[in-house]
Structure 1
Amino acid sequence: MPLKPHYSVIVVGAGPTGLVIANILGVERVETLLLERNERTVSEPRAVSIDDESLRTIQGVGLVDTVLGDIVQGYGSHYFSPSGRPFARVQPAVQEYGFPRRSAFRQPVLEAQLREGLRHYSHVEARFSHRLEQFEQDAEGVTLRVLGPDGTLRTTRCDYLVGCDGSRSGVRERLGIAMDGSSFGERWLIVDLLGTPDRFRHTRVYCDPRRPAISLPGPNGTRRYEFMLHADERDEDLLREEVIRQMIGERSAGDRDLQIARKVVYAFHARVVQRWRDGRVFLAGDAAHLSPPFAGQGMNSGIRDALNLGWKLASVVRGELGPGLLDTYEQERKPHAWALIDMAMRIGRFMMPTGAVQAFMMQNLMRLLSVFPPARDYVMQMKFKPKPRYRAGFVVPDGAADSLSGRLFVQPQVESPGGRRMPLDDALGRGFRLLVFGPLPGDPLPEVQLPPALGAERFFIVPQDYNFPHPLPAGGERTMLRDCAGGIEAVLRPFTPCAVLLRPDRYVAAVIPFSHPEPACRSLAGLVEATQLPGK
């Protein structure tokens, strides 16, 4: 089948980042082409950890119920000394974004589910066995030459091109964009097993300087082992099956003789591209950043890229906001990508003590911290994970350390006037949304003048301890929601009474205090006006 002469967006690479952004553009009704050089999505396990933010994004494209059926929800990490004694655990229980902080999954299953999700959108084409050969851009768009499975070279154009083509990105290479950061000499052996009898649902981290190792749970009887290799060990020697089984047997006799689904040696990187955009071409996922594996954030950072860029492309393509909006992609994503890489490096140093003395000191420090509840909860609830916050971009900052502006908003359960309970995002739907909190229904409200280009529908949040008014005001059956457990009130209490403008990705664009709404409204108007400037 020939390619169409033009698409609004072309995405290169059908890994998790490319598949998610294609689904987001599908939901947003943007004419999209997804190109993948391979015949199918991956068949071998790769990434194994999916976090709450990624699951919330998948919820937004309507696939979360499907995905949840094939993951292990809410696993933690238990740390063991060289003698095999547990000395610390990280086991978060909070679900501020609506899902467990960490869950285990299988990448081949997730990618197949995301690919199947594209079938819902007639305006999204997924072309596998299609390789991007070359591209060039001009002031009006990007021209691509694509090699099909029959060897025919075809030409098409798009308004915007997104390179999600992995760590060895051809798109990045053609743009000549370098990466900052470091690559490291430490190598790790990764082994994926099938049919484990081990039902422990948390990760075991063996902080043993003789050979640091990790045992990770997976869905449907799968388990992954990771072993650090020494500088004098050769890859080919450690990949021998008898050596692998001996190493596994030292940690678990029950897993030693299981079927091996995958074995590979890799080195890790901590690198981010110098530029995330060149004209009408963008980089996302591993094409834009490479993270050490210790925090399980590599794929999740790519899904954050997809969420951030996806709604902005849709807004610009539809003419709702100007092309200058796309400059905020790098502004917002680059600092947080670096922050998560730094967190992964710190976790890695903890997991890989250089000697017995360092291991002893770390273990006793963790035991000491466990005596103090605030310190214990900081570790156990993963409060050390940098929360996503945008200090610049399409947000109205106010400079306050505890400000909500630029932060990902919580997702508690809310109740409609008809008694139906649901996650907040499901109740709000797509697009900009203004949450009004503080005045009780029927109380007078100040005028909040938002830029019409945002098309922000207003929702009134009824506090947990109050009922809906009777009779409901016009439209109240849709735009009034009760805060079932007080999750919204807990976040907004310091700012009440106020309105909060949420972006389509559910980050807070602005907090608008009712005592003086004009400054925030003027700043929002300025943000919208600034998007009309040409993008870089």
Structure 2
Amino acid sequence: MKGTSLDTDILVIGAGPTGLLLTNLLGEMGINTILIERNETTVEEPRAVSIDDESMRALQAAGLATEVAAITAKGYGSLYRGPSGRQFAAVKPFIKEYGFDKRNAFEQPEFESTLRRALNRHPSVDARFGVTLTDFEQSADHIAVTVTEAGGTRMIRTRYMVAADGGRSHVRKALGIQMEGSTFAEPWLIVDLETTKNRCFHTEVFCDPRRSAITLPGPRGIRRYEFKLNPGETAEEAERTPFARKLLSETGPDGDEPIRRQKVYTFHARIAEHWRAGRVFLAGDAAHLTPPFAGQGMNSGLRDAHNLAWKLAEALNMTDPEHLLDSYQTERKPHAWSMIELALKMGKIMMPDSVLRGVAIRTGFRLLGLYGPARDYVAQMKYKPKPKFSDGLIRPVATGAGAGAVGRMIPQPLVSTLNREERLLDTCLPDRPVVLIFDETPDLAMDAALLERLRNAGAEVIGLTPEWMNPVAASFPILRDQSRFFSQQPFRDCLGHGLLLRRDRYVAAIEPIGQIESLLPMIARLTTPLDTADHQSVATEEELRATAI
């Protein structure tokens, strides 16, 4: 109705993957959130095709990992082939450092539909499609947003707004925020097939100076092909069916398979100079545009959502949340740019610009394959930048035991409980800061008075033993690192320490056992003191057993 106004804590603009995950996370936290999307539905044609392990962990935080896993093809790798079709390198990661396969194929329409349906679980969420933002004005304590919908115009008052409205973001342009970086001169033809005769489980990358090409697997027997256009080939020509049929026939067995979509794209490597303007934040493609060669465009947006959601939730209860909100850009912008740089480097491998360069690349990879550590560096995707911050809402340690762990996302091992049930670590952690006591005998690390002080400050305490020690009954839950991820560096050096974990599972600070109370000031920067009446207890042993793997 014309003139009707709404009030909310958070307004999310755009129901793509970033906006949908952000809204689900906020809904899971019980935050009053309105999501608006100018289209009547989520996307109906293929776009992104790969979800990584870090994104699956973010979905896990929203209670969506199981549903999303059910619509993916899990754990695929990449085979790199030269002009003859001979394989010269393979990337087949199998280590589940963060609890999930590193690469998982999916269809974006089905993915977005899954996340949209999940919004119905949250009474604090109001999702509105067919609604367009037309104007907004910030004041000291809120943003007044004007939107149009079928019934006319409406005003929405919100404390914070997140623009996840895509690469051509209306909000970003209205704020006058510029994009830094470049646009690729080389256009690519994307061909999505309904069915495939290509039985390769993995991605195939054809590094041929005559024409680079990629084939990517999908769930339920579908496949995508991507072809670099050569000079003189136009988008109009490439989007004709005979053109695609010719390239499909030259690349594999799918020359006659039914085509679902055929479209030319020009890729970008760009990032917004600022990600925040007052009470407005940019996220997803509105903040960064990534070439597809590393499969990180959508995944970077999901990382934005995971980083920002809990900070907005905490900011609503803080008198002065500026340090919390400013840390979003401080942490996410450098990491997002590192993923753009990774994509550019991978693009150089995929697109050799001469026969000589192609030979040099293939020879280099074959030589690396002769040396075990170098071979594993490639095969296990260790070249991918780790989820780690050097600045932001953390308290770095210059030197000493555990210094390398601060600012990192902790691994997510399979852990065993007191009764030897097996679970992923995050399912045992509450959605608030956690002091993780990593020690052979964490039950001896603190007395009842310190435990109470930590809990009243808003943190929970969880014990974790290394794989060679069994957990015991104590005044807080104790788990065993069954997967041995904490026995590897840099976390091996954390034995005998308390790690302060943020709600997004990054290490904010570390202290030796005996100095754990020194974590209290940092806890105060992450959250507000816990109201005893609202105390969220950790899972009991019986609850853990009921949902054990």
- TM-score range with shorter-chain normalisation? over 0.9
Distance 1:241 1:155 in 2: 46
Q: 2:261 aligned with 1:246, yes or no?
A: no
Q: Is the deviation greater in 516-525 or in 217-226?
A: 516-525
- Tell me the alpha carbon deviations over residues 40-63 of structure 1, each in whole angstroms, 9 at most, x when there is no partner: 000000001110000011111111
Distance 1:405 1:273 in 2: 27
Mapping of residues 406-417 of structure 1, within 5 Å? 406-417=407-418
Task: Give the Å deviation of 1:488.
Answer: 2.8
Number of aligned residue pairs: 522
Q: 2:318 aligned with 1:315, yes or no?
A: no
Mapping of residues 322-337 of structure 1, within 5 Å? 322-337=321-336
Matched-pair contact (CA < 8 Å) for 2:192–2:260: yes
Distance 2:514 2:97 in 1: 28
Task: Give the Å deviation of 1:515.
Answer: 5.5
Say which SS state the counterpart of residue 335 (structure 1) adopts.
Answer: helix
Task: Give the Å deviation of 1:429.
Answer: 2.5
Say which SS state the counterpart of residue 384 (structure 2) adopts.
Answer: coil
Task: Give the Å deviation of 1:256.
Answer: 1.0
1:486/1:236 CA distance change after superposition, 3 Å? same
Say which SS state the counterpart of residue 251 (structure 2) adopts.
Answer: coil
Distance 1:289 1:453 in 2: 39
Matched-pair contact (CA < 8 Å) for 1:315–1:321: no
Matched-pair contact (CA < 8 Å) for 1:451–1:525: no
Say which SS state the counterpart of residue 173 (structure 1) adopts.
Answer: helix
1:444/1:324 CA distance change after superposition, 3 Å? closer
**Gap regions ≥5 residues in structure 2:** 529-549
1:527/1:145 CA distance change after superposition, 3 Å? closer
Distance 1:488 1:4 in 2: 51
Which residue, 478, 481, 499 being the options, matches 1:480? 478
Distance 2:363 2:453 in 1: 54
Q: Is the deviation greater in 196-205 or in 273-282?
A: 196-205
Task: Determine the structure 2 residue equivalent to 1:277.
Answer: 276
Question: TM-score, normalised on structure 2?
Answer: 0.91
- Tell me the alpha carbon deviations over residues 244-294 of structure 1, each in whole angstroms, 9 at most, x when there is no partner: 1010000113x1111111111111111110100000000000000001110
Matched-pair contact (CA < 8 Å) for 1:320–1:453: no
Mapping of residues 58-69 of structure 1, within 5 Å? 58-69=59-70
Task: Give the Å deviation of 1:520.
Answer: 5.3
Task: Give the Å deviation of 1:84.
Answer: 1.2
Task: Determine the structure 2 residue equivalent to 1:138.
Answer: 139
Task: Determine the structure 1 residue equivalent to 2:52.
Answer: 51
Matched-pair contact (CA < 8 Å) for 2:445–2:513: no
- Tell me the alpha carbon deviations over residues 356-385 of structure 1, each in whole angstroms, 9 at most, x when there is no partner: 111011100100000001111111111110
Mapping of residues 134-533 of structure 1, within 5 Å? 134-150=135-151, 152-253=152-253, 255-319=254-318, 322-400=321-399, 403-445=404-446, 455-469=458-472, 472-474=473-475, 476=476, 479-491=477-489, 492-514=491-513, 516-517=515-516, 521-522=520-521
Task: Determine the structure 2 residue equivalent to 1:27.
Answer: 28
Say which SS state the counterpart of residue 403 (structure 1) adopts.
Answer: helix
Distance 1:481 1:377 in 2: 30
1:288/1:411 CA distance change after superposition, 3 Å? same
Q: What amino acid does structure 1 have at the position aligned with 2:362?
A: Q
Task: Give the Å deviation of 1:452.
Answer: 6.8
Distance 1:406 1:228 in 2: 38
Task: Give the Å deviation of 1:5.
Answer: 2.2
Q: What amino acid does structure 1 have at the position aligned with 2:106?
A: F
Task: Give the Å deviation of 1:528.
Answer: 7.2
Matched-pair contact (CA < 8 Å) for 2:293–2:343: yes
Matched-pair contact (CA < 8 Å) for 1:448–1:517: no
Say which SS state the counterpart of residue 156 (structure 1) adopts.
Answer: strand
Distance 2:457 2:37 in 1: 34
Task: Give the Å deviation of 1:451.
Answer: 7.0
Matched-pair contact (CA < 8 Å) for 1:417–1:480: yes
Task: Determine the structure 1 residue equivalent to 2:531.
Answer: none
Matched-pair contact (CA < 8 Å) for 2:324–2:525: no
Distance 1:487 1:454 in 2: 29
**Gap regions ≥5 residues in structure 1:** 530-536
Task: Determine the structure 1 residue equivalent to 2:41.
Answer: 40
Task: Determine the structure 1 residue equivalent to 2:538.
Answer: none
1:164/1:450 CA distance change after superposition, 3 Å? farther
Task: Give the Å deviation of 1:320.
Answer: 8.4
1:524/1:28 CA distance change after superposition, 3 Å? closer
Task: Give the Å deviation of 1:449.
Answer: 9.7
Distance 1:36 1:522 in 2: 40
Question: TM-score, normalised on structure 1?
Answer: 0.93
Task: Determine the structure 2 residue equivalent to 1:533.
Answer: none
Query: Percent identity over the alignment?
Result: 45
- Tell me the alpha carbon deviations over residues 168-219 of structure 1, each in whole angstroms, 9 at most, x when there is no partner: 0001011110011111211000000011132211000000000000000001
Matched-pair contact (CA < 8 Å) for 2:457–2:524: no
Say which SS state the counterpart of residue 382 (structure 2) adopts.
Answer: coil
Task: Give the Å deviation of 1:65.
Answer: 1.0
Matched-pair contact (CA < 8 Å) for 2:193–2:223: yes
Matched-pair contact (CA < 8 Å) for 2:439–2:463: no
Q: What amino acid does structure 1 have at the position aligned with 2:19?
A: G
Say which SS state the counterpart of residue 485 (structure 1) adopts.
Answer: coil
